[in-house]
Chains A and B, each alone.
Chain A
Amino acid sequence: MPGFPSLPKRLHGPSIWALYILGFAPAIWAFYLGATGRLPGNPVKEFEHLLGIWALRYLIATLAITPIRDLIGVNWLRYRRALGLLAFYYVLMHFLTYTVLDQTLRLSAILVDIARRPFITIGMAALVLLIPLAVTSNNWSIRRLGQKWSHIHRLVYVIAAAGALHFAMAVKVVGPEQMLYLFLVAVLVAWRAVRRRFLRWRRERAGPVRSQPITNQ
């Protein structure tokens, strides 16, 4: 893997913790600004939207780990769990901001929103689907569930698609930003669909000499 010096093994663990700390930084910083009256305009909406957009970014980053390994040969698999969990925590904070700060716990209004507004229904479904993935994001569950674990975790593709759709359906006019996220998710889902065929084709082209073993994670 030319051009990408690999991280010394002893730094793998700390680098994951660094990712968690950096990953929560946008939420913590925006919360600090909002709580101290430093977010202009509509601070609750600003915070809510920031959490949503970062959730979508972490979901996309989670899905990008495999194609990056396949195509560039850089293995960032050790960061995937942290990215997936960050996405979950951001979706959860996004939901809590909507229910507590935005709707001020008006339960009937929240239930009507979830039931009647398709973009909120879709967003809510994505949050619910994320729960089993977050709960099973540990080594014990992976050992315990075996093959079933990877089947369950394929739900992340549905969740990412739901997230991008939720974003596009929430705005008054679908603009470049919404298009970008829809596009990225579409490319990543498409990669999943053609990945096996691509890897087989590349193996065959390389001939009998196996340059690098590629395992199915």
Chain B
Amino acid sequence: MPGFLRNQKIRNILLQVLFVAAVLVIVVGGWRNAQQTLQAQHIVSGFGLLEKATGWDVNFSLLPHSASDPYWWFFLIGIVNTLFLGTLGLALATLIGGTIGIMRTVAHPVLNLLGRSYVDFFRNIPLILQVFFWYALVTHLPAPRNAIDFGPLTLSSRGLYMPALNVGGWYLAAAGLTLLLALVLPLWLARTRRISRPPEERRGLVRGVLAGGILAALVILLVGRDAAGPLISRPELQGLNIRGGLRIPPEFSAMLIAIGIYGGAYIAEIVRGGFKAVGRGQTEAAHALGLTPLQSFFRIRLPLALRAMLPILANQYIWLIKATTMGIAIGFTDFFMIVAVTINQSGQTIEAIAILMAGFLAINLTLAAIFNRINKAIALKGNQLRG
């Protein structure tokens, strides 16, 4: 061994330089190879792609779309679809998981057994198999001619139809946003410390904002209504297909059911673990203080369990958001599917994959940041931490 290599510091620096060099060789080599291959295949590279029209269309979108829209708009549609499916799927999974998880924590053998069977059954079958199963199930429903009616809803192999407001897309979105603000803003106004008036005197303001918001939403709906048709459009059978109303395509329902049920099984276990982490002493103390079982559940066990399960729940949520990419297997146009079709159509593989990675990084980091914030906000402070 040459003399200078015996020096630990020099060796460390050399190792790190070697590491950086190896990474550089891989990255630069890969990049140069890709450039050469792409040039050989006459594929233009660069992000000019984003401005070009796609020439193909998507089958599910919350935003208006057509084949002449540029790629960046389609990527946005994909992200919105992914987030929409993810949000609804997470809500459904949390609902199912919370119910099943609590069923497993109460001391009742039959409920325990039911919850356990559910978890064991659905957790041990791959999600994508469940997606395929639900998709086959909803597409094997009767054809539109023999559709099943549940009151205003119509269920057929083409999807679930429901009555909808006959209002332009942008107006509908604006009205929904206004309504959401009208519900959230009063909650914030009632609690915030930014306003000097004490909470008791803010009631008028809060009610005013609520009423004003709802009124504004209604006005937006009325302004944006389609003058040609009635205000509410109902699904009706015309020829071989159903027209009018809002259609929820089978791809979306299959994904939603699968994510809700599979995620629910995982979340149930997290909820059970959270309740198990609550110290026995806490429950016994609540009992000794004379709290009823319900009070002890809502005031003592649930808040403590929530804190224990939140970090794991955040991981599970991120996992479930990533699982929405399985929509590509049955043709749901989520973000990943739009990227895959882009690669097929334009050949600009590297740019499309980079956009995909950036999109998922952004979604995951945002989710993680939100959960860290919640976690910090509800963490037990000071000496309450003593077990």
- A, B from the same assembly: no
